[in-house]
Structure 1
Amino acid sequence: MLPNPTLDQLQVFLAVAESGSFSAASRALNRAQSVISYTIANLEAQLEVPLFERSGSRQPKLTEAGTAMLEDARRIVSDLEVMRARVKGLKEGLEAEVAVAISVMVPTDVMVDVLSEFRERFPSVSMRLNVGELGEMIDLVASGISTIGIGGAIVKQDDSLSIERIGHSFMMPVAAPHHPLARLNRPLTLADVREEVQLVVTDSSGHTKGRDFNVLSYKTWRVSDIATKHHLIRGGLGWGGLPASLIYEDLQTGRLVALELEAYEQGEYPIYAIRKISNPPGPAAAWMLEAFRASLSRCPNLEAFKAQLPFNRSKDAIAAE
């Protein structure tokens, strides 16, 4: 017959193993020591292996089988605690899942920090994460796929949505160090960029259809997402604007060069908190919104960001590559 230990037996086993004695476990669990001993004996009978060495020592010592069982028991009891926390949260109004859409314009370190703390604070809440671009954020929230959105390109007001500015980001025109524009090593004019391929992201949502932002070249390659654009620019296949937070390390290491192009508008790109008015966020989603607001408020402006970057390398350094 297959062993069928109970959760109570596993909890008693853990208490003895972690406290180091049957008497300490009895005090921790507020049970008689005889009950603790009886429970462990029943568990060993169920498993048909000894869990503790009792002879020759006043303190019980885990056997090889007991040591192997310890992690399994911890995992099973931990899963039970997660289930209990989830049920408690549901009773108190805590969401079972938070679905969030986050714009590529949100700095990656901010996103990781907020989601890390979210996991610690709400271990019982599942996460469904969509990363979107431009008008996709509006569509994900409006359609109900995402409960909240962080980012967004607000082209027109939607009365069914609550849209609140909570931070900013900005785009920077860049190119690979071996790209012809980077090799000019001087402020660029419109004439310089007109005949060079500019990489542009197409808005799959259709909200910005027919509208181009900061498209200055006559030659354009249109791609579906920022990640592809990023890789192609680093490969020297064109120039274009990328979120500053995404390319910080590239600029520090010289894999990309910031282009001094006055015609390229580098004003702040607003980041919004978006949600449906008819679907107010629960406690976990509301906490996440406030966490993003607090973190984004500490992001540097464009001038402060540029001040962190190394000086442009000389023409000789670029030519030597």
Structure 2
Amino acid sequence: MIGSLTLDQLRVLVAIDDSGSFSAAGRQLRRVQSAISHTVQALEEAQGVQLFDRSTRTPRMTAAGQALVEQARQVLRQAAVFERTAKAMAAGLEPALALAIDSFVPTEPVIRGLAGLRELYPDLAVTLFTEGIGAAERRVRDGSATLGLCALLPTAVQDLQAAVLTHVSLVPVAAPGHPLANERRTLTRDVLAEHIQLILTDPLQRPGPSFSVVSPRVWRFVDITRRLEFLLAGFGWGTMPKHLVQPHLDAGRLVALDVQDPGVLPGSIGLYAVHDRRRPLGVGARWLLEELQRQSWFGPATARSCSGSF
């Protein structure tokens, strides 16, 4: 009850509007017509508004009634959401779910997972943070994100639980007009070191071991999309996730470099789902984690921890 207003009164009002008459509303709600009439009269008296014109044989909804029936529909929809949400929370569903997603993570599997989550828990509020290296993990640690989907883990730590998802292939690339794209020498680290290397790094952490960083001249980027733009503009060369640059390789906007030094190219990086051991996952987060691990491109892999720039 809201003051003297009840949800039942609103249901009766909506049923009359949907069915077209008091008698039809009674059949719909399995009530006698007199009970429907009494409910409407009580609603009119309590609110001080005439909802129906009874001057004709069949009562017709007034302009005020037509306006208020739409408000009634909205209140009933919100009440239904309230009841569903309360029931889900009683079963362990968290009030909201925040995800911190590393920019290395392919989008499509995440979209498929979240689509399933939305279908199962339509009223669960979800927040997505797109992060650079290290930031997803920091959000999990400070509690602003429940799950972090990240490419790199700094070190093996006791406070985070990490589940390996897949490995992403890396490819060294440069713009077709870059000198390395037309270099006739074998692309060893000595040759690569002659050119500016564009690397991705964590701005808030001291540099750790550098993987595949061989040039004494580096330009550091926090945003992988921005680094890609500079690669396309020919500012240097760099190692990128293959799924992000494949369209540019196919279109000829980038060239894959035939690097012959295995020490320069790590080949792949692991993607992980991490969460704080001290904060148990809610129903929604647990379901999403399991769904992400079921995605077809999530193959078995051995967990590895690494940090630094590349």
Listed as ranges, the matches of 1:1-321 within 5 Å are: 6-19=6-19, 22-40=22-40, 46=47, 72-182=71-181, 188-206=187-205, 209-263=207-261, 264-295=264-295, 297-298=296-297
Rounded Cα–Cα distance in structure 1 between residues aligned with 2:157 and 2:118: 31
CA 1:18–1:195 in structure 2 vs 1: closer, same or farther (change >3 Å)?
farther
Q: Give a deviation string over 1:270-308, Cα, whole Å, max 9, x none.
A: 11221222222121110010111112x42589xxxxxxx
Give the AA of the match of 1:89: A
Q: 1:122-176: CA deviations, max 9, x gaps?
A: 2232223333333333322233332222224223211222222122222222333
The verdict on how the C-alpha distance between 1:67 and 1:267 changes in structure 2, with shifts beyond 3 A counting, is farther
**1:306 corresponding residue in structure 2:** none
AA aligned to 1:213 is F
Further displaced range: 160-169 or 28-37: 28-37
The residue type equivalent to 1:36 in the other structure is: I
The amino acid across from 2:278 in the alignment is S
> Cα 1:48–1:160, aligned 2, differ >3 Å: closer, same or farther?
same
Distance 1:82 1:249, change over 3 A: farther
Give the RMSD, CA atoms, in angstroms.
3.7
Percent sequence identity over aligned pairs: 35
Question: How much does 1:229 deviate?
Answer: 1.2
Q: Is the 8 A contact 2:211 2:266 kept in 1?
A: no
Unaligned runs of 5+ in 1: 302-321
Compute the displacement of 1:221 (Å). 0.7
Cα deviation 1:32-89 (Å, max 9, x = unaligned): 3333345456667859576899979x8x998887776665544332222222222222
Q: Name the SS of the counterpart of 2:100 in structure 1.
A: strand
Provide the aligned length of Structure 1 versus Structure 2: 294
Distance 1:195 1:72, change over 3 A: farther
Amino acid at match of 1:80: A
User: Using a 3 Å threshold, how does the CA distance of structure 1 residues 202 and 83 change in structure 2: closer, same or farther?
Assistant: same
Secondary structure at the residue paired with 2:211?
A: coil
**Greater displacement, 224-233 / 249-258:** 249-258
Q: Which moved more, 1:25-34 or 1:266-275?
A: 25-34
Using structure 2 for the length normalisation, give the TM-score: 0.76
1:243-267 CA deviation, whole Å, 9 max, x = no partner? Answer: 2333344344444443333434252
Q: Deviations over 1:214-262 (max 9, x none)?
A: 2233321112221221222233333222223333443444444433334
* Residue 213 of structure 1, CA deviation: 1.9
Residue type of the alignment partner of 1:14: V
Residue type at the aligned position of 1:282: G
- Higher deviation after alignment, 178-187 or 138-147: 178-187
TM-score normalized by the length of structure 1: 0.74
Q: Structure 1 residues 54, 186: CA separation in 2 closer, same or farther (over 3 Å shift)?
A: farther
Contact 1:198 1:240 in 2 (8 A): yes
Structure 2 letter corresponding to 1:122? Y
SS state at 2:207 partner: coil
